[in-house]
Structure 1
Amino acid sequence: MLTGMGLRPEQQRLIVVIATVVGVLVGAGGLVVAIQSIGSRSPERQAGAAVVVPDAALPQVFHGWGSPKLFAPLAERAGDAKALTEKEVFGQSELPVTKKLKLKLVAKQLDADCGAVLWGDALLEQVSDGGCTQAARGLYASSDGRYVGQYTLLNLKDSESAAGLVDSLKTLYRGGWTHPLKSSKAAFPAGGYSEAGGYALGHYVGLVWIGRVDGAEPDTQDDFVSLTLALRGAEKAIYRRVVSITGPSS
């Protein structure tokens, strides 16, 4: 409530102290006077400070990685101008995890408006500055019904923007993330545990998001590393683009 009224964190701490005293001495009416005496401000956008969407599914852990040299030919979108397609990124209906376990594609969507795919003021501002023109999302359910995963691929203007976004997400993810696709076959439970990773791939950013359907933290039976590698199968589209520029011999 205090954040919504435009109070800075230090002002909010002061209000808590005042509220404790005023509540005992003169009741709630004094609190309103105290708030008005401090003043207000227009909230500023800060990394990781966006208001969390009610009931939003959000990863509790995030790790980010820079772009390997392999993707240097894709450093600029100007040299890779062909737009992504759903078929190109999500052409495989199943991604193998182990011999017995697979991730099945249950929903896919390609948006030209990256702002419709992401939420969180600071995150939206950064992807806008990065010239994001496409966001491809694929939602997966494991064949055993235990896991849910989503892969999101963002098309930015250059590798500098992509690397900067991945680095910033190490804090931005706490107050903004991707909207999960909706499907009756898989869903991230609100408030449940999930993990995510960000990968700079030239001028692209790949976001991997994994969780258990029941929202519980992983135990010894859960191999999130293998699930992550399987989800990254969607990145084959980006490898093919490298080959189309440099030739098979590379």
Structure 2
Amino acid sequence: MIEARDTGSPEAPRTGAGRDFWPADDQPARKRPSPKLLYGAVAAVVVVVIAVVAAVVLSGGGGDEKKAANKNVLPTAYTPDFSGEGFSRLATRTADPRPITEGEALSGDAKTLTSAKYTLNLAASNLTGDCKSVTWGARLQGDLQKYGCSQILRGAYVSGDKKFVGQFIVVNLATEEGVKQIQRDLDRATGAGWIEPLNPPGVPAFGSGFSAAYAKTYGHYAVITWVERAGGAQPASLNEMIDVSLVVEKPADFVWGRLDLAGGKQR
């Protein structure tokens, strides 16, 4: 299960198993990989909140949409999921050699994502075969090359009221082993680097203040959702970030089509 933790502060001891935060009205028809699970002692969250508030005070606030987001931006909280449950047939790209297209992943229902609480619209998308051009960090870029990164797809989402912004990211790697290594690299504690957010005109700049990212293993695809309140404002709770990320993750449904074509059935 995905577990949300603050990678920018010392990890607090786990105090319980937590609870499932999948929205009740949004249960998928097919069983997905294990849902995100929030955990962490209250003290760890308090440390994050204090750090965010201090940063906002010292910088004069994070809500200026005209400010360009920092190029080498990192999420405040990051949680990887290495399980890859149900996608063993897609563990290598040899079973799924066709490149991703923007139309496949980000058209149709993926243009407007909805849940009971949130509606987010696709503001821009970008697909590149040059994985180095949309990432930073020598170690991350080295591992992307080592593990056969052939494509990175990014979609920028914004809510109708412009209170929430999100990034949907897919990294196409040669193997599931590579996906897991890239997820380890994305932990800010490694200093390996990160993927640059897509910042289209007319959308609140992404990357300043508090943000949370979640990464999942879908066979040889790493699927990353990265969300924040516009301007990086402090969220009501990490639960809020998880709920928004679950909405932004919906375009990953394209992988189910890939699984069907590979002759795979979820186990």
Q: What is the SS of the residue equivalent to 2:98? A: coil
Q: Counterparts in 2 of 1:155-170, with a 5 A limit?
A: 155-170=172-187
One of 55, 58, 63 as aligned partner of 2:74 = 58
Q: Distance in 2 between matches of 1:131 and 1:221?
A: 33
One of 126, 132, 141 as aligned partner of 2:143 = 126
2:233 maps to 216
Percent identity reads 28
Q: Distance in 2 between matches of 1:243 and 1:165?
A: 25
One of 55, 58, 72 as aligned partner of 2:88 = 72
Are residues 1:93 and 2:108 paired? no
Q: What is the SS of the residue equivalent to 1:223? A: helix
Q: Distance in 1 between matches of 2:98 and 2:123?
A: 26
Q: Counterparts in 2 of 1:1-250, with a 5 A limit?
A: 56-91=72-107, 92-98=110-116, 101-171=118-188, 174=191, 176-220=193-237, 223-246=240-263
Unaligned ranges ≥5, structure 1: 1-52
Q: Residues 200 and 206 of structure 1 are in contact (CA less than 8 Å); yes or no, is this contact kept in structure 2?
A: yes
**Residue 239 and residue 172 in structure 1: after superposition, are their counterparts in 2 closer, same or farther (change >3 A)?**
farther
Displacement of 1:164 in angstroms is 1.7
Q: Residues 130 and 161 of structure 1 are in contact (CA less than 8 Å); yes or no, is this contact kept in structure 2?
A: yes
Q: What is the SS of the residue equivalent to 2:257? A: helix
**Residue 219 and residue 122 in structure 1: after superposition, are their counterparts in 2 closer, same or farther (change >3 A)?**
same
**Residue 58 and residue 187 in structure 1: after superposition, are their counterparts in 2 closer, same or farther (change >3 A)?**
farther
**Residue 108 and residue 215 in structure 1: after superposition, are their counterparts in 2 closer, same or farther (change >3 A)?**
same
Count of aligned pairs between the two proteins: 197
Q: Distance in 2 between matches of 1:67 and 1:230?
A: 20
Q: Deviations over 1:30-61 (max 9, x none)?
A: xxxxxxxxxxxxxxxxxxxxxxx955432111
Unaligned ranges ≥5, structure 2: 1-68
Q: Deviations over 1:118-162 (max 9, x none)?
A: 111111111111110000000000122101100110000011111
Relative to the length of structure 1, the TM-score reads 0.72
Letter of the 1:71 counterpart: F
Comparing 148-157 with 191-200, greater Cα deviation is found at 191-200
Displacement of 1:229 in angstroms is 0.8
Q: Distance in 2 between matches of 1:141 and 1:190?
A: 13
